[in-house]
């Protein structure tokens, strides 16, 4: 295939709310550009960008798919991103490779919650944005209403550059407000419009919209404004030129319309991407670091070679496939680049352009292009690779921490042997996941943005790596503590033939402030206990505290003062004093008003304002404490502190309360006392579990 320079490349992130039709639109664009020989469908499971088995089965985009098309002597790299909340982090991670964002909006629903979220991602990366009002063929689709919802969400800079020709079932084409021509299409056709004159019944509305477009384009530029005042309008080439500059500077957000289902408008979208969207070489210089030094590097062929890996695919047959953007220089086959994280040299053999799961071989990729390469040894998502002697490190995308965790257990011993390695391969694909072992409960936990994301991992483990695992809610890592003080005497004495065992200690126990864990004070005077045995007393206390007193959970936030004791010249040893310390601790817990602690999570919820009352009522029912609220646009932000035990099913419940229009994040904040009636139940359950284990052992 032809090698394209930076000026001839467009990198476009296709973003929007789930089910707005992004993947279907990309499929229509690929068909129109001649990549596919027929129009592929999401419901048929044969689209190029949704090729993973989980995506085919679930009929949703789970992970960003990349596909390039060639159009009007340009190369367009399309990044088809997820739109559902569970997988939205992958969208943010992938947009770092884009130079503009194509925001797809449902013509019936208008702007939805994830539309606003991906818009914010694009704002974070300072991406120019254009919008497509899709599904114009559907009943109740309304272009004007959709544009109004876009303006309400994103401001008056939103300006239509097209109008629909017909509506709902009679939608048959678009009116181009720049050329003032109409384009009609055959349903399910090649996606290439037939140019015609604007029908008489639509002419007045088109002229009004054309005038508004010209005014908006002229508004941001003095010379265009003068020309507009002088002539009353602008010629077509000046509109295109002004629109391109306004889009690049993020002063205007053009709106187009389409029916992805019937492939109406695909060619006009392709033309607009080529004519109006910026090339990567026109974007601002990239910022990175070399050691402590901040660096800037233009996206240009004459700069040293550097690439940024924005995505990793773990193929069980082809191995690891790294998707990268060429940040500077020209990358050729067999290029040797240094990984900034590992300091190892990687050889890029057989680079290619990405088209779904296929890598189309090329000899070189120029600055600004997107490519892929298989079987890099140590390179992961977020890594920078640079030319030796020209170090630069680009900042990785910061993703939020997972909001929910599930306990994972292997179904069999053979699955257990393979589970860790298989999960690590999936984690290479999705940096938003976490896999770790809880030091207290000893469970393996898999954490993600929501239950569906974790379930997808389980399904991949089974189908891709033949590893069967079971999911369940994690054990709550309760703690125990004390509310009062105690002064106790612990003695261990055992007499056998020969040497016996003797250890004797007196301790005072008192509570510490929350989070202080443990403090041991040695106040032994006069050699009541020899120095070499004092650490054994502390060790015995800590071991007993780890096993708990009320329900088997570790005891925390207490202070122990060792102030007296006795020893025997022959029978005393470390073990005796350790056992004495354990006995003293158990006696102290009886007197020191033991209590249960539970983890409290800091929760932040974003939802449309109309759901705020229901959400706060639900949080109160979960023993939550509202910490504050803010309003941002039409969104209510609610912050609260809620016990972890009450948050295990929150993802599904929040979806139900808000019809899927809210999102939340949570992180551990602190421990607090469990209410007495709940603590009694937890203690009773722990006692029953212990008795059950003892019966099994008998």
Domains located in the chain, CATH noted: 6-282 (3.40.50.300), 292-386 (2.40.30.10), 404-472 (3.30.70.870), 480-592 (3.30.230.10), 598-677 (3.30.70.240)
Lowest mean pLDDT among 304-308, 371-375, 416-420, 629-633: 629-633
Q: What is the mean pLDDT of the chain?
A: 91
pLDDT of residue 191: 80
Question: What 3 state SS string does 42-77 have?
Answer: CCCCCCCCCCCHHHHHHCCCCCCEEEEEEECCEEEE
Find where tokens 């999705």 sit: 430
Asked whether residue 222 carries a pLDDT value surpassing 80, the answer given is no
Asked whether residue 348 carries a pLDDT value surpassing 90, the answer given is yes
Name the phi and psi angles at 629, rounded to 5.
-140, 150
Helices 113-124 and 143-154 sit at what angle, rounded to 10 degrees? 50
- What is the number of alpha carbons within 13 Å of residue 644 lying toward its C-beta? 23
CB 21 within 8 A of CB 135: yes
Q: What angle do CA 672, 677, 678 make, to 5 degrees?
A: 55
Lowest mean pLDDT among 74-83, 140-149, 218-227, 592-601: 218-227
- Average pLDDT, stretch 495-507? 85
Asked whether residue 429 carries a pLDDT value surpassing 70, the answer given is yes
Q: Measured between alpha carbons, how far is 43 from 57 in angstroms, rounded to an integer? A: 9
Asked whether residue 528 carries a pLDDT value surpassing 80, the answer given is yes
- Average pLDDT, stretch 155-159? 94
Asked whether residue 696 carries a pLDDT value surpassing 60, the answer given is no
CA distances from 58 to 39, 62, 177, 479 (A): 20, 9, 39, 40
pLDDT of residue 384: 97
pLDDT of residue 264: 96
pLDDT of residue 498: 67
- Average pLDDT, stretch 591-599? 95
The tens digit of pLDDT for each residue in 44-54 reads: 888 999 988 88
**Binning pLDDT at 50, 70 and 90, where does residue 662 land?**
confident
Tokens of 453: 């994301």
Asked whether residue 568 carries a pLDDT value surpassing 60, the answer given is yes
- Average pLDDT, stretch 642-648? 90
**Binning pLDDT at 50, 70 and 90, where does residue 210 land?**
very high
Q: Taking the chain, what is the end-to-end CA distance rounded to the nearest angstrom?
A: 74
Asked whether residue 698 carries a pLDDT value surpassing 60, the answer given is no
**Binning pLDDT at 50, 70 and 90, where does residue 652 land?**
confident
Asked whether residue 226 carries a pLDDT value surpassing 80, the answer given is no
**Binning pLDDT at 50, 70 and 90, where does residue 525 land?**
confident
pLDDT of residue 526: 85
Lowest mean pLDDT among 12-16, 310-314, 691-695: 691-695
pLDDT above 70 coverage of the chain, percent: 98
pLDDT of residue 149: 94
Q: Are strands 319-328 and 331-332 parallel, antiparallel or unpaired?
A: unpaired
Q: Measured between alpha carbons, how far is 80 from 26 in angstroms, rounded to an integer? A: 7
Asked whether residue 497 carries a pLDDT value surpassing 70, the answer given is no
Helix (H, G, I), strand (E, B) or coil at 322: strand
Lowest mean pLDDT among 164-168, 556-560, 605-609: 605-609
Tokens of 261: 């289902």
- Average pLDDT, stretch 357-368? 95
pLDDT of residue 438: 78
pLDDT of residue 439: 72
Q: What is the pTM of this model?
A: 0.78
CB 78 within 8 A of CB 69: yes
- Average pLDDT, stretch 190-208? 93
Question: Which residue did the predictor score with more confidence, 520 or 235?
Answer: 520
Q: Measured between alpha carbons, how far is 458 from 451 in angstroms, rounded to an integer? A: 11
**Binning pLDDT at 50, 70 and 90, where does residue 189 land?**
confident
């Amino acid at each position: 295939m032809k090698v394209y320079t930076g000026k001839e490349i467009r990198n476009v992130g296709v973003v929007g709310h789930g089910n707005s039709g992004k993947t279907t639109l990309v499929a229509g664009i690929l068909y129109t550009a001649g990549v596919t020989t027929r129009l592929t469908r999401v419901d048929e499971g044969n689209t190029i960008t949704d090729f993973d088995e989980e995506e085919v089965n679930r009929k949703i985009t789970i992970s960003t798919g990349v596909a390039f098309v060639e159009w009007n002597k340009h190369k367009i790299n399309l990044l088809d991103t997820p739109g559902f909340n569970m997988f939205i982090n992958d969208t943010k991670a992938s947009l770092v490779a884009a130079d503009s964002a194509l925001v797809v909006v449902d013509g019936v629903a208008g702007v939805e919650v994830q539309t606003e979220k991906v818009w914010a991602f694009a704002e974070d990366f300072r991406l120019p944005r254009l919008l497509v009002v899709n599904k114009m063929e559907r009943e109740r689709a309304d272009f004007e209403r959709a544009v109004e919802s876009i303006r309400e969400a994103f401001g008056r800079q939103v300006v239509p550059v097209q109008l629909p020709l017909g509506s709902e079932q009679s939608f048959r084409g678009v009116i181009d407000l720049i050329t003032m021509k109409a384009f009609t299409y055959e349903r399910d056709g090649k996606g290439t419009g037939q140019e015609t004159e604007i029908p008489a019944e639509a002419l007045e509305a088109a002229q009004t919209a054309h005038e508004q477009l010209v005014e908006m384009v002229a508004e941001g530029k003095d010379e265009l404004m003068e020309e507009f005042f002088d002539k009353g309008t602008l010629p077509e080439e000046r509109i295109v030129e002004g629109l391109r500059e306004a889009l690049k500077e993020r002063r205007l957000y053009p709106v187009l319309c389409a029916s992805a289902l019937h492939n109406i408008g695909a060619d006009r979208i392709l033309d607009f991407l080529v004519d109006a969207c910026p090339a990567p070489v026109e974007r601002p210089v990239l910022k990175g670091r070399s050691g402590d030094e901040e660096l800037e590097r233009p996206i240009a062929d004459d700069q040293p070679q550097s690439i940024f890996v924005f995505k990793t695919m773990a193929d069980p047959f082809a191995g690891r496939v790294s998707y990268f953007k060429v940040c500077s220089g020209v990358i050729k086959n067999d290029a040797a680049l240094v990984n900034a994280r590992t300091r190892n040299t990687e050889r890029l053999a057989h680079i290619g352009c990405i088209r779904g799961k296929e890598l189309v071989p090329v000899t070189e990729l120029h600055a600004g292009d997107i490519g892929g390469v298989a079987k890099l040894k140590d390179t992961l998502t977020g890594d920078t690779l640079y030319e030796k002697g020209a170090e630069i490190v680009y900042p990785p995308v910061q993703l939020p921490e997972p909001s929910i965790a599930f306990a994972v257990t292997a179904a069999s011993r053979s699955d257990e042997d393979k589970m860790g390695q298989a999960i690590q391969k999936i984690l290479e694909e999705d940096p938003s996941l976490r896999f770790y072992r809880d030091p207290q409960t000893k469970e393996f936990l898999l954490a993600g943005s929501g239950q569906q994301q974790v379930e997808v991992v389980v399904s991949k483990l089974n189908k891709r790596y033949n590893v069967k695992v079971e999911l369940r809610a994690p054990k709550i890592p309760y703690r125990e503590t004390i509310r009062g003080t105690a002064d106790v005497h612990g003695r261990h004495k055992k007499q056998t033939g020969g040497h016996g065992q003797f250890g004797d200690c007196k301790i005072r126990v008192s509570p510490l402030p929350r989070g202080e864990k443990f403090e041991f004070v040695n106040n032994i005077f006069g050699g009541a206990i020899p120095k070499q045995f004092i650490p054994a007393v502390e060790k015995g206390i800590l071991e007993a505290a780890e096993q708990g007193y009320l329900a088997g959970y570790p005891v925390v936030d207490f202070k122990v003062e060792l102030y007296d004791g006795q020893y025997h010249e022959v029978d005393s040893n470390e073990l005796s004093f350790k056992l004495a310390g354990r006995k003293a601790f158990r006696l102290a817990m009886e007197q020191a008003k033991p209590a249960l602690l539970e983890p409290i999570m800091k929760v932040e919820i974003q939802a449309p304002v109309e759901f705020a009352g229901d959400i706060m009522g639900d949080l109160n029912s979960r023993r939550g404490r509202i910490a504050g609220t803010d309003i941002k646009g039409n969104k209510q932000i609610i912050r609260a502190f809620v016990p972890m035990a009450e948050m295990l099913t929150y993802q599904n419940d929040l979806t139900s309360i808000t019809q899927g229009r809210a999102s939340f994040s949570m992180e551990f904040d602190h421990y607090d006392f469990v209410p007495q009636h709940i603590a009694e139940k937890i203690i009773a359950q722990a006692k029953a579990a212990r008795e059950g284990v003892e019966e099994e052992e008998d």
